[in-house]
Amino acid sequence: MCFAGNTDLGLSSYSTRMIASVQPSFYIREIPIYGDLILSPMDGFSDQPFRVLCREHGSAMSYTEFTNIDAIQHDAWKALRQLRHASSEKPQFSMQIFGSDVDRFVEAALKCEALGASIVDVNMGCSVACVSSRGAGAGLLREPQKIAEIFRRVSNALHIPVTGKIRLGWDDGSLNYMEVAQAIEDNGGQAVAIHGRTKAQLYKGEARWAPIAEVKRAVKIPVIGNGDVRTVADIARIKAETGCDAVMIGRAAIGNPWIFSQLDRHEVTLDDTLALMRRHLQLMLEFYDEHGLVLFRKHAVKYLLGHPYSATLRNQLMTCERVEEFLALLDDYSQRREYYAAEAA
């Protein structure tokens, strides 16, 4: 049986030194946030192993994958596993929850606090139909009054800060990000992360950053900008264009946690990539037992993207079922690199 609690995987001494040597970039209420790059909550990706790796590489905070308030109430094992965390992630550690019923939000948030959350984040951005059409995730954006009530009730009930993650609105005909951000702030919310798309856009088109700048000018709580930050240059650009307090990075961090150290994918050597893959796999096996290998595959293919002649290896890894074989394939690829380089020349 899984339980939510502290499992200490430890941050590297590099991260510890880094944290000790800098001033907080901003605060979420009383919680100091050291640095202004943050791994996005991502269902299926931002689990404890990946969060810990990203923190080691410079991500300033941890958000869990979004977790259903009803599943939390029912102690569903998968929900409790999603909420597990390393003590080293605290106090910059947020449990993200989603749902639509206000009373249940309060109950689930109280449970998150009891399970060790330092922050509770309300998901108002999930665009998946089975979530948003039921009034949860981005579905909440259609009910700003309810958002106000959720923040008022949850922040009154909890000792820890409550934050929110939103999109720009349901669709282009209902862009209510200003009203929603204001409702969050006016009702006790302590930070707002904004993905610059509407629910109707899903992940299509370009994320719009101008609305993030608008919200930043209007509210006093920290504003975290998000959407289509793919490179180190994008980090500088979204900061300059929005004035946001921090930048949240999702898809571009998969296979490249070094983006939190301001390194683009092509700047990372194959040796460093393979070393991190081995460590990530080890953390996955510790966290998920033998199922960790299967769950690691989707990360593995992303780590290898762009590395020469890695297509065959990626295919082999996707079907590989034994850890020893998986590691041997990585070793073999590493040893053959000179041969590949000679062939390419």
Contact residues toward ligand FMN (CB under 6 A) are 40-45, 65-66, 96, 123, 125-126, 165, 195, 226-229, 249-252
| Cα gap 210→53, rounded to integer Å | 31
- Known active-site residue 126: yes
Instruction: Please report how close the Cβ of residue 138 comes to ligand FMN at its closest, in angstroms.
Output: 10
Cβ atoms of residues 225 and 256 within 8 Å: no
| Cα gap 44→67, rounded to integer Å | 11
Alpha-carbon distance values, 326 to 1, 44, 93, 322 (Å): 28, 21, 32, 6
Radius of gyration over every alpha carbon of the chain, rounded to an integer in angstroms: 20
Instruction: Please report how close the Cβ of residue 45 comes to ligand FMN at its closest, in angstroms.
Output: 6
| Cα gap 298→314, rounded to integer Å | 10
Q: 82 Cβ partners below 8 Å, 6+ apart?
A: 47, 64, 65, 67
**Among the options 112, 126, 244, 320, which is catalytic?**
126
Which neighbouring-strand residues pair with 97?
67, 122
**191/274 with CB nearer ligand FMN:** 191
Task: Give the CA count within 13 Å in the CB-facing half-sphere of 167.
Answer: 27
Instruction: Please report how close the Cβ of residue 98 comes to ligand FMN at its closest, in angstroms.
Output: 8
Instruction: Please report how close the Cβ of residue 228 comes to ligand FMN at its closest, in angstroms.
Output: 5
What six digits make up the tokens of 164? 């929110």
What six digits make up the tokens of 169? 């609105």
| Cα gap 159→118, rounded to integer Å | 9
**180/229 with CB nearer ligand FMN:** 229
Q: What is the DSSP letter of 65?
A: P
Residue nearest to ligand FMN (CB): 250
| Cα gap 200→340, rounded to integer Å | 45
Burial 139-156 (b: 16+ CB within 10 A, else e): bbbbebebbbbbbbbbbe
**48/274 with CB nearer ligand FMN:** 48
Instruction: Please report how close the Cβ of residue 312 comes to ligand FMN at its closest, in angstroms.
Output: 26
Q: Which of 96, 108, 109, 260 is nearest to 193 (CA)?
A: 96
From first CA to last CA, the distance across the chain in angstroms is 54
So which residues are the catalytic ones?
A: 126
